[in-house]
Amino acid sequence: MLDLILRNLTLPDGRSGLDLGVVKGHICALEHRLPATAHREIDVGGELVCPPFVDAHFHMDSTLSYGLPRVNQSGTLLEGISLWGELKPTLTQDALIQRALRYCDWAVAQGLLFVRSHVDICDPRLLAVEALLEVKRQVAPYLTLQLVAFPQDGVLRYRAPDGGDDAFTLIKRALDMGVEVVGGIPHFERTMEDGRASVRLLCELAAERGHRVDMHCDESDDPLSRHIETLAAETLRLGLQGRVAGSHLTSMHSMDNYYVSKLIALMRESGVAAIANPLINITLQGRHDSYPKRRGMTRAPELLAGGCPWPLAKTAP
Ligand SMILES: [Zn+2]
């Protein structure tokens, strides 16, 4: 007697009319007209059955906060970051948890069972970190939530209130509390040089403590932004291959083609994954363009052809 049988399903490769048997949470049979019984049988009616979806880039601390405290007028990332700065002091742990749990219900209902969420650590109270760790605990039976310690205001740019910890210390505190991945935002640091230094600092921290890295990189239209190059080079230098991702990478759409041909080879060599965020970046990017207007997407086909792993992610709250 099996635990569960799904009858008459369709697989992503197009095969249909199959039955799938499950015992103790594991698939044990997949065939036409499975000759078995189960505690529970569901006729799927020919619907698609596939592995759960994974969202590799999300910000669960700002989920369902549209219009709080007001709507982004310019539509740019910079106004978005400043809006979040206005909202942050008014956040409560309870509101953060309730919004995140509501989102998780929606996510699971859509088949999303793994979410990597960045969580802003530029807050002396680490309120969002505490809240999302609580959410992670509560949703653990049905959704895997992986958290990234993300210095939204820049690990070097962030100005702590009097007596407060600097952002680098806050990241370490968040990791000590149970956050698993080191984040960063080099293109938001004050200068290109600070951005480069931030990538180096954060990769060294991850190497020292055995964490993964997922950095917001080059989320701009600036063709000369070079942080993904630094991230790939640091990955090689520190032996972090296979543990590092660069998110957004939108400036790649504006870079010189010869330079990109060299960059993609470096990314492949370093095993850095590229995470594209189409929903948010086709909205945020190109806001300063007259014509032509850039579309805000990194070079997905070229990255794929170049052998770089790249998941798609949402990022928008
Ligand atoms: Zn993001």
Residue 246 lies in a domain: yes
Residue 316 lies in a domain: no
Angstrom distances, CA of residue 107 to CA of 7, 11, 14, 103: 24, 21, 25, 6
47-87 pLDDT, tens digit each: 999 999 999 999 999 888 877 778 888 878 788 888 878 88
Residue 57 CA, ligand 1 centroid: distance in Å: 6
Residue 101 lies in a domain: yes
Residue 105 CA, ligand 1 centroid: distance in Å: 21
To the nearest 10°, the Cα dihedral for 109, 110, 113, 115? -110
At 314 the pLDDT is 61
pLDDT at 103 over 60: yes
Q: CA-CA distance, 198 to 112, in Å (whole number)?
A: 32
Indicate whether 38 and 104 sit together in one domain.
no
What range does the domain containing 115 cover? 53-305
Indicate whether 201 and 106 sit together in one domain.
yes
| More confident of the two residues 253 and 128 | 128
At 24 the pLDDT is 94
Residue 228 lies in a domain: yes
At 315 the pLDDT is 54
Indicate whether 20 and 164 sit together in one domain.
no
Active-site choice (47, 193, 204, 219): 219
Indicate whether 24 and 78 sit together in one domain.
no
Among candidate residues 124, 180, 130, 175, the one with its CA nearest the CA of residue 153: 124
CATH of the domain at 111: 3.20.20.140
Indicate whether 9 and 94 sit together in one domain.
no
Q: What is the pTM of this model?
A: 0.85
Indicate whether 39 and 65 sit together in one domain.
no
Residue 118 CA, ligand 1 centroid: distance in Å: 7
Indicate whether 21 and 81 sit together in one domain.
no
Residue 131 lies in a domain: yes
Residue 15 CA, ligand 1 centroid: distance in Å: 37
Average pLDDT over residues 147-162: 94
Indicate whether 24 and 60 sit together in one domain.
no
Indicate whether 68 and 136 sit together in one domain.
yes
Indicate whether 202 and 82 sit together in one domain.
yes
At 2 the pLDDT is 95
At 89 the pLDDT is 82
Indicate whether 22 and 92 sit together in one domain.
no
Q: CA-CA distance, 102 to 109, in Å (whole number)?
A: 11
3-59 pLDDT, tens digit each: 999 999 999 999 999 999 999 999 999 999 999 999 999 999 999 999 999 999 999
Is 219 in the active site?
Answer: yes
At 317 the pLDDT is 42
Indicate whether 39 and 95 sit together in one domain.
no
Number of structural domains the chain divides into = 2
